[in-house]
Amino acid sequence: MSPRHIRHGFPWVYDNELVTDRRSRAIAPGTIGLLEDAERNPVALVAINPNSRIMARVLDRDTGAEIGRAWIEARLLRAFDLRSRLFEAPYYRLVHAEADGLPGVIIDRFGDVAVIQPNAAWAEAMIEVLSEALVAVTGVSTVIKNASGRARSLEGLDEESAVLRGAAPDGPLAVPMNGATYMADLMGGQKTGIFYDQRPNHAFAARFAPGARVLDVFSHVGGFSLAALAGGAESAVAVDGSEPALALAEAGAAAMGAEARFATRRGDAFAQLEALAAEGESFDVVICDPPAFAPTKKALDRGLRAYERVARLAAPLVREGGLLGLCSCSHAADLGAFRGASVRGIGRAGREARLIHTGFAGPDHPMHPQLAESGYLKALFFAL
């Protein structure tokens, strides 16, 4: 990595790209430092973590900047202004890490509550300042720190979540999205409690919902199925391995008055797809939104085989002329590789398909133009 890449906007410096010594290796994780080139010219202010493969994260290329509350508030205000233009209601991802100028920081907003994932050591070290700035910019009364996830372990951080401001919600919160109501468990659910990134893809699939029978596999809290019910589906079935997630999906359907049209099946998704085929079931719309099968490059081949298997098992369940939606949140599997695996699986199932739409994460999940990892989500919709 050359200084030119940093000056042109690349936000990371790996440990094997830096000249370090015993003193620099002893720097406390989260320390703010000055990155210099070989000629000792200043390049950027960086957050340092000797315990991470990403040893330096660029905070500001203005080396005269002061990284404190005012700096954080300015970044938050920029992110807040963008979301306020995009969404009428305050339910969205407020900060999407590097793409919003706050490396390693995820903040999701749920009305009067915000959930922070400080996935970089500098954010963990400045969590109180970050929390204060968040309240000042948005006016939320409750701030929760969610410390779960693989990203924090890669930074050498703990898994201790906490309520930083206000009081923990008394049970799941209702989240309106695409006309549906989702129930988010902000204290015990996956990630921050709900996945906002699929919002535009939920909306696209819901166009095919009126009068349809819908199958939502790897449903989590009912992402595609509840949007389909809001869109006029005759019925929807959610399949997931998590009993708590399915309970939240059922609560969401009940909050919408759609419980009579909603059913769940708990179990391994692959086994459930096979069982539904054995039962002779068919659906007008089938959506599969699995977890990341290829979270790293080492897992890519195995992950692509898993995506192909999902497509092969799901395609036979789609009625003639129906819609099959296949999703991937694996940044290691780029769009071309994922599309290839999906098409192979559909072909192996003996079905013919037209790819009618390719979807990505919503605009509250901006992509850093020089960081492919920030454009992780792909959604392919086929007419079979």
Domain range annotation of the chain: 3-60, 69-165, 173-383
User: How far apart are alpha carbons 324 and 307 in whole angstroms?
Assistant: 13
Q: What is the pLDDT of residue 193?
A: 82
| CATH numeric code, 3-60 | 2.30.130.10
> What CATH topology corresponds to 173-383?
Rossmann fold (3.40.50)
Give Cβ neighbours of residue 103 (< 8 Å, ≥ 6 apart).
Answer: 11, 47, 57, 58, 59, 97, 120, 122, 123
Q: Which residue in the list 44, 214, 221, 329 is annotated as catalytic?
A: 329
For residue 138, which of 67, 68, 75 has the smallest C-alpha distance? 75
What is the model's pTM?
0.94
Structure tokens at 283: 């659906």
Annotated active-site residue 288? The verdict is: no
Contact assessment for residue 304 and residue 338, using Cβ atoms and an 8 Å cutoff: yes
Give pLDDT tens digits along the chain (384 positions). Answer: 567 788 888 999 998 988 888 888 889 999 999 999 889 999 999 999 999 999 999 999 999 999 999 999 999 999 999 999 999 999 999 999 999 999 999 999 999 999 999 999 999 999 999 999 999 999 999 999 999 878 888 888 998 899 999 999 999 999 999 999 999 999 886 677 899 999 999 999 999 999 999 999 999 999 999 999 999 999 999 999 999 999 999 999 999 999 999 999 999 999 999 999 999 999 999 999 999 999 888 999 999 999 999 999 999 999 999 999 999 999 899 999 999 999 999 999 999 999 999 999 999 999 999 887 778 999 999 999
- Count other C-beta atoms under 10 Å from residue 167's C-beta: 10
> What CATH topology corresponds to 69-165?
Transcription Regulator spoIIAA (3.30.750)
User: How far apart are alpha carbons 297 and 146 in whole angstroms?
Assistant: 26
